[in-house]
Structure 1
Amino acid sequence: MSDSPLSPSPLSNVSTPGQFDAVLGGAIAPASGVVLGGLEGLIWRIKTLPADQQPLALPALLTYGEPGLAELVQWLQHDRPSLQKAAYQLLRDRPEAIAQAAIETCCPWPWLEQQAVFTHASGITALSIHPHHPWMASGCRDGTVTLWDLQTEESRWVIDTEDFIHTLTILPGEQLLCGLGRGRSPIHWHLHHGQRVDGAGHVPHGSSTASGQQPDAMDQLAGQGWLDEAIAWQTVDSPPPQLPTVQPQQPKASLKQIASVTLSDRRYLISASKNMIRIWDLRVGREVMILKGHTSLVTAVAVRSDRPWLVSGSEDRTVRLWGLP
């Protein structure tokens, strides 16, 4: 049985009534009658449903092939957010060009919901999210770094750096997690097991494996990660410039500052302001969403550009995952 409140017509003819279609004006529609069958009949019935049932009926449009898909794209432009969101969820994984083009021009950030909360022993100082894998790295004020599985909501490994980690960046091509500590010197750990390595992926003498789960098979990762401005100069092939060693003061958990910003697709600016996250559409110059849930200063944010996933860390000792179900 389908969850849709409507029974779709067969695919053979989108313009004629099916077994479960109604005909207004008689079994054989006269010139003055209206045939409520096929795709047009389905659209009419969706519009006449109660508002809370309309999103549940949209999957029936996909039974009408390309015409139904084109109609679903139109619902993506509806003025009611619940219908926009339902259409987006149906279109985001479709391979057709019309669906992909509609998704690229769509703004899904206003529909984000809190998906999970990851509790830590102290305030969050840095975050990074894998661009292809459901993994997130978090750094704490107590010097620990954790790699989390966002699907199972469990940690893959935990290490104690005995340092204040300012920045974390996942480098998927090298299968590395890169961090910056007090001395602004990059530290690398292998994503698979958390073991300390150098920038080329070699294990230094005397390194130990992180505590936590045992290493298991890892998928071959592809693509390139991004480096934030603080470590944009760091590459495997070129040494970093000589930066002055600074002993930074730990920021106070004030609610009167913007502690972190990041970009998504060069279109959306995400800023951590006070105890909330604000998302701005740079193309139209307006705020599209405010995410609330943290109880203290939000100190770090990170996004995955290929899907509406956002993670935020706070002095309230939690990391929150925001996304669409």
Structure 2
Amino acid sequence: MAEFADKLAAKPLFYQRAYLGSLLPNYVKAGNLEKYYQRLTDFNFLMAKIQHPEFGVQALIDDFNLVDDYEALNHSKYNPEKVKVLNLIKSVFWMSADILERDKTQLAEQLWGRLAHLKTPEIKAILEGVQHQKAVPWLRPFTPCFTPPGSGVLRTLKGHSDSVNVVAVTADGKRAISGSSDTTLKVWDLTTGEELFTLKGHSDSVNAVVVTTDGKRAISSSKDNRIKGWDLTTEKALFTFNLESHTKLVNVVTVTADGNRAIFASRDNTIKVWDLTTGKELFNLTGHTKLINAVAVTADGKRAISGSSDKTIKIWDLTTGKELLTLTGHKKSVKVLAVTADSNLAISGSLDNTLKVWNLTTGNELLTLKGHGKLVKVVAVTADNKRVISGSSDNTFKVWDLTTGKELFTFKGHSESVNAIAVTADGKRAISGSSDNTLKVWNLTT
């Protein structure tokens, strides 16, 4: 490998750029898929590309995506076995991007640790080639000791220095916004895994964040009892509300779909509805007897649903400020809530380790979902209203069938509690935030 790298470095820069960059798209356009395949299964090429200052890991992932462009050019279908091999290698780069960006010499270890369990001749040949081309002594895994492709996790996002408490995703599924106990929010590109920018201004832990449906603004709350609005195009703070009317910490914030009203819930057992255009308080909703842990709003903005440590869930009319229904059934505090996109169902998660599904019109309990070993800390629903995703202090998150209540998948990968989950609008990816200071991007189709 060192000999190959030295030879390539000795070539003119235009040659390096052509060899590592422009030749691959040309192979695809010309239908020369064999050359394309050989290049992307050549360990020397892979190492040279991620180590070159003008390219790197993401540029290599983009190379693997070129095969999709080939299919789109109306060529005959490429060999499915070779496409499968390329997708497996691409998955290794996705899953290992945070590691390889810190230490580019770890590629051989990542390939072996994630692919060694596969017995297909193509993969075995690639790994044998890796072994022979690794010029310096290295620790070769004898077993598939790293998370393999297809396990669900696509990428790990690192940057926060403390627990990730909340995550939101823009409607187009291209960006995620995370809030942390390190007092910052970070905006991430979900296509590349890149941290785009950091929003600073809170003086204490960020405990809630929502994004308006147009994807242009984010609204966050913090233990400093301030609500901040952010412009996601300019990275600037738009406004700051000091919530002095609450006598205790505001621990929940949500926003109506039109972005005009915000609902704040406090440990003083009240919920306040604010007009974000005027900064004025519209309603003060009272009725819970203990602190409020969760608030969700229906898509039409007409109802709010709140969950409390008094074990109840309340449904409120946001046009009148009146309480409509009280739902009971959990044995311990209601910790989290989500509402289906059609506004018909609410899903609650509790300290009793269960989730419950409720009919918002009748108030009837429809299902109880059991499986977590510890308290449920976060819940989300896919846009098609078919699946529920829940995260827990047992370090896992689960995917449930909302019609039957059946557990579909359990995802493992975080080393500490899963505190936050957001789902892209197409229902294909979930982004989780954890007390292990990381976010993970997951493939919900596997």
TM-score, structure 1 normalization:
0.51
Superposed displacement of residue 53, structure 1: 5.0
User: Is the 1:142–1:162 contact (alpha carbons within 8 Å) kept by the matching residues of 2?
Assistant: no
Q: Secondary structure at the match of 1:198?
A: strand
Give the distance between the partners of 2:414 and 2:190, measured in 1 at CA. Answer: 19
Aligned residue runs from structure 1 range 146-157, under 5 A: 146-157=186-197
Q: Secondary structure at the match of 2:230?
A: strand
Aligned residue runs from structure 1 range 184-199, under 5 A: 185-198=226-239
User: Is the 2:422–2:431 contact (alpha carbons within 8 Å) kept by the matching residues of 1?
Assistant: yes
Q: Does 1:118 align with 2:118?
A: no
Cα pair distance change 1:195/1:278, threshold 3 Å:
same
Cα pair distance change 1:259/1:229, threshold 3 Å:
farther
1:271 — aligned with what? 390
Give the distance between the partners of 1:165 and 1:292, measured in 2 at CA. Answer: 25
Structure 1 or 2: more helix by fraction: 2
Residue of structure 1 aligned with 2:417, choices 276, 297, 313: 297
Letter in 2 for 1:118: L
Cα pair distance change 1:2/1:279, threshold 3 Å:
farther
Give the distance between the partners of 2:213 and 2:388, measured in 1 at CA. Answer: 23
Aligned residue runs from structure 1 range 210-229, under 5 A: none
Letter in 1 for 2:403: R
Aligned residue runs from structure 1 range 168-207, under 5 A: 168-173=209-214, 175-182=216-223, 185-198=226-239
Residue of structure 2 aligned with 1:306, choices 412, 422, 426: 426
Give the distance between the partners of 2:178 and 2:399, measured in 1 at CA. Answer: 21
TM-score, structure 2 normalization:
0.38
Letter in 1 for 2:399: I
Cα pair distance change 1:55/1:228, threshold 3 Å:
farther
Cα pair distance change 1:309/1:235, threshold 3 Å:
farther
Once the two structures are aligned, what percentage of the paired residues are identical?
A: 21
2:441 — aligned with what? 321
Aligned residue runs from structure 1 range 52-201, under 5 A: 53=81, 113-119=152-158, 120-160=160-200, 161-173=202-214, 175-182=216-223, 185-198=226-239
Give the distance between the partners of 1:154 and 1:301, measured in 2 at CA. Answer: 19
1:45-85 CA distances to partner (integer Å, 9 max, x unpaired)? xxxxxxx95996xxxxxxxxxxxxxxxxxxxxxxxxxxxxx
Q: Which has the higher contact order (CA 8 A, sep 6+)?
A: 1
1:259-283 CA distances to partner (integer Å, 9 max, x unpaired)? 1111112321110022111011111
Letter in 2 for 1:116: R
Give the distance between the partners of 1:235 and 1:262, measured in 2 at CA. Answer: 26
Gaps of 5+ in 1: 4-51, 57-110, 200-222
Gaps of 5+ in 2: 1-30, 34-79, 85-149, 241-256, 266-271, 294-334, 336-372
Letter in 2 for 1:165: V
RMSD of aligned Cα (Å): 4.4
1:162-217 CA distances to partner (integer Å, 9 max, x unpaired)? 12211111114371111122265531111113211038xxxxxxxxxxxxxxxxxx
User: Is the 1:171–1:226 contact (alpha carbons within 8 Å) kept by the matching residues of 2?
Assistant: no
- Number of aligned residues: 203
User: Is the 1:178–1:188 contact (alpha carbons within 8 Å) kept by the matching residues of 2?
Assistant: yes
Q: Secondary structure at the match of 1:147?
A: strand
1:97 — aligned with what? none
Superposed displacement of residue 235, structure 1: 5.1
Residue of structure 2 aligned with 1:236, choices 266, 273, 276: 276
Q: Does 1:257 align with 2:296?
A: no
